[in-house]
Structure 1
Amino acid sequence: MTLPVRVAGLVLSAVFVVFLVQSPPVASYVTSVKEHNSVPAFFQTDEASLIREKVKKEAAKRYIKPIDARIDRVWKAIPGLNGRKVDVEATVEKTIKQKNKNEIAWVYREIPPQKSLDDLGAQPIYRGNEQKKAAAIMVNVAWGTEYLPAMLDILAKEKVKATFFLDGSWLSKHPEEAKKILRAGHEIGNHAYSHPLMSQISRERIIREITRTQKLIQDTLHVQSRWFAPPAGDFSRQVLEAAQEQRMKTVLWTVDTVDWRKSSTPEMMVSRIEKNIGPGHLILTHPTDRTVKALPQIIRTVKRKGIKLGTVGDVLSSKRLDTIE
């Protein structure tokens, strides 16, 4: 290269540098780098992309396959349980918005099973899915009102919702008490009309017992009950099919407190729960003085085992307890 050309190149380079330094945007950039010793945003790696890659790598490990409803040899109809998968974009968005972006704010979407409880047909239900850490208190109401206020107070204090299965003849006499149960946020079930042994009556009467109470529940409380609890747990194939025709499922129980037996004590009732309670269980109770005394400890015993108490509908649904939005 000749000397004039080299000199010309050096001059041009010098002019270009002077232009850059004196140019307001670039001068501002240079000053910013000098003052803050940092790289501007347009030179940084895209933060959302980094988080997205991190989430995608972890997502497969957090996937849970859904469980189909099935018929168990002992427990009969067992509801399914939704699976879950990571919602990648929602997780990225939630993580970006929080202060600590190093900690992923996981968001999941539930995956329903291919076979649901409804797909199993007319089958008795004794419990929920064993993978779901939830249990329900069932209260069969066929006589009296004396102990209901105390039971409702305890449930409210413990922040527990239960399912009250109402006998139709009781409901016809005590509509206001039934409305209090509903207003407290509890679920309503059907307990036939006159408390018969359902397997020992005709098909026509079976249907009449169920539909009469169902209509009364609708007319009095304006709700549609999905669950039928046969009095004394007595049922037959005819009963199951009749309930199914009315779009209802026949529900029994997993653990009986035996509070209906006068010889039972609150201590005995709590002991039965302590020994027998598990995930997906349905707990049978009635509004008695013994139940009122035992109920607070029953609730605390269940909670202490890490089991969440809800309604029968909550326990028998396929919805997960660990899907966080």
Structure 2
Amino acid sequence: MNRKKVALVFFCMILVFVLGQFTGIHAFVDGGGRQDRGQDAFGRFADSRGEGELLAKIKEEAAKRRIEPVDAVVDRVWRAIPGYNGLEVDIESTYQKARLKPEGTEIEYVYKEIKPKINLDDLGAHPIYRGNPNKPMVAFMINVAWGNEYIVPMLDTLDEAKVKATFFFDGSWLKKNADIALEIQKRGHQLENHAYSHPNMSQLDDSRARLEISKTKDVLKEKLGVDNRWFAPPSGDFNDRTVRLAAEQGLKTVLWTVDTIDWRKPPAETIISRISSKVEPGSLILMHPTASSRDALKGMIQVIRKKGLQLGTVDETLSSDRVVLPGS
């Protein structure tokens, strides 16, 4: 390389260095060693557009609007209680939407959920009686071992109200009544495990207790293609061993918060009144396909909704996902 070429290369290097100092590139590169390079570039972009004030306003408001997640816990009375997601403003998405709108337009905040550090799966094998009390959702648990004549009318009421329930099937009933179970499934309801022959689970030895759960789990898969997740002990009879044996098969043991006591054949008004006085966020409501529950179902849905609560499946109610109420 001759001297002219060397001089030209050296001159170009000097020129790049000088331009870098004047245009701020050097400072930007130096700042790249910080923990949050993306945020640094984001802030510089805002300043270059004269929109730093908008970004600062969004950040300030985001701090006020943040809702911390609630961890799942093992309660002395209610045993395992699921967690509930928190909420925070997605600052970058909110800013990008806001900067495209005319100045002075109200900012439309974009949110994202924050997962709890401790979830239901982290708690181990414990019975579950309710959802998180911060979550404005409740679920109908419909245990099915008899009462075929009332099932379709109850399904029609649920359809009319656009409500999905969770049906827990006795395995021996399911084997004989797969056509009815398929109709329940076709209407979009959740289908789960209620043992095979409606025994008192606490009185069985390990082998029989395990078989009661596994046989119904297998029938749910065979007849309906359902991968079972929840186990409801018949008559609410269980012990710690029952919960452990269910957990060994990948199932969580779920009971109820509020009982309709519909097997006593009370008037519909009695059931509706009981639900109205006892239901609260996170409640799991036990019922069966009976004439009493058939007649009370529409009124139950109405009083639950008047309390500002949504109706979901057991799966939805016990998840940590947040509920968005109309108008919120």
| Matching residue's letter, 1:118 | D
Rg bigger for which structure? 1
Partner of 2:127: 124
Quote the Cα distance in structure 2 between the aligned partners of 1:301 and 1:254. 17
Alignment: residue pair count: 280
Judged with a 3 Å threshold, the aligned counterparts in structure 2 of structure 1 residues 97 and 311 are, in CA distance, closer, same or farther, namely farther
CA deviation after TM superposition for structure 1 residue 57, in Å = 1.4
CA deviation after TM superposition for structure 1 residue 92, in Å = 2.5
Quick check: 1:188 aligned with 2:191? yes
The correspondence for 1:311, drawn from 310, 313, 323, is: 313
CA deviation after TM superposition for structure 1 residue 243, in Å = 0.5
Judged with a 3 Å threshold, the aligned counterparts in structure 2 of structure 1 residues 72 and 96 are, in CA distance, closer, same or farther, namely same
Partner of 1:175: 178
SS of residue in 1 equivalent to 2:285: strand
**Which deviations, in whole Å up to 9, do the C-alpha atoms of 1:189-236 show, x marking residues without a partner?**
100000001101111111101000001101111121111000000001
1:74-153 counterparts in 2 under 5 A?
74-95=77-98, 102-153=105-156
The correspondence for 1:273, drawn from 269, 272, 275, is: 275
| Matching residue's letter, 1:313 | D
Quote the Cα distance in structure 1 between the aligned partners of 2:279 and 2:256. 11
What root-mean-square deviation, in Å, do the aligned CA atoms of Structure 1 and Structure 2 show? Answer: 2.0
Say if 1:110 and 1:323, in contact at 8 Å, map to a contact too: no
Say if 1:109 and 1:323, in contact at 8 Å, map to a contact too: no
Quote the Cα distance in structure 2 between the aligned partners of 1:99 and 1:274. 48
The correspondence for 1:282, drawn from 281, 284, 297, is: 284
Partner of 2:300: 298
Partner of 2:22: none
Quick check: 1:63 aligned with 2:50? no
**Which deviations, in whole Å up to 9, do the C-alpha atoms of 1:153-211 show, x marking residues without a partner?**
11111111110001101110111111111121111110000000110111111110100
| Matching residue's letter, 1:255 | V
CA deviation after TM superposition for structure 1 residue 134, in Å = 0.6
Quote the Cα distance in structure 1 between the aligned partners of 2:290 and 2:103. 52
Say if 2:83 and 2:119, in contact at 8 Å, map to a contact too: yes
Quote the Cα distance in structure 2 between the aligned partners of 1:144 and 1:122. 32
SS of residue in 1 equivalent to 2:263: coil
Quote the Cα distance in structure 2 between the aligned partners of 1:268 and 1:250. 28
Judged with a 3 Å threshold, the aligned counterparts in structure 2 of structure 1 residues 299 and 96 are, in CA distance, closer, same or farther, namely farther
Quote the Cα distance in structure 1 between the aligned partners of 2:101 and 2:219. 51
Partner of 1:259: 262
User: Which structure 2 segments of 5+ residues have no match?
Assistant: 1-47
SS of residue in 2 equivalent to 1:260: helix
The correspondence for 1:72, drawn from 53, 75, 96, is: 75
Partner of 1:213: 216
Say if 1:108 and 1:323, in contact at 8 Å, map to a contact too: no
Say if 1:197 and 1:235, in contact at 8 Å, map to a contact too: yes
Query: Larger deviation: 314-323 or 229-238?
Result: 314-323
Quote the Cα distance in structure 1 between the aligned partners of 2:256 and 2:230. 12
Structure-1-length-normalised TM-score:
0.82
Structure-2-length-normalised TM-score:
0.81
Partner of 2:29: none
Partner of 2:21: none
Judged with a 3 Å threshold, the aligned counterparts in structure 2 of structure 1 residues 182 and 82 are, in CA distance, closer, same or farther, namely same
Quote the Cα distance in structure 2 between the aligned partners of 1:84 and 1:323. 14
Percent identical among aligned pairs is: 51
| Matching residue's letter, 1:163 | T
Say if 1:95 and 1:101, in contact at 8 Å, map to a contact too: no
SS of residue in 2 equivalent to 1:322: coil
SS of residue in 1 equivalent to 2:192: strand
Say if 2:147 and 2:290, in contact at 8 Å, map to a contact too: no
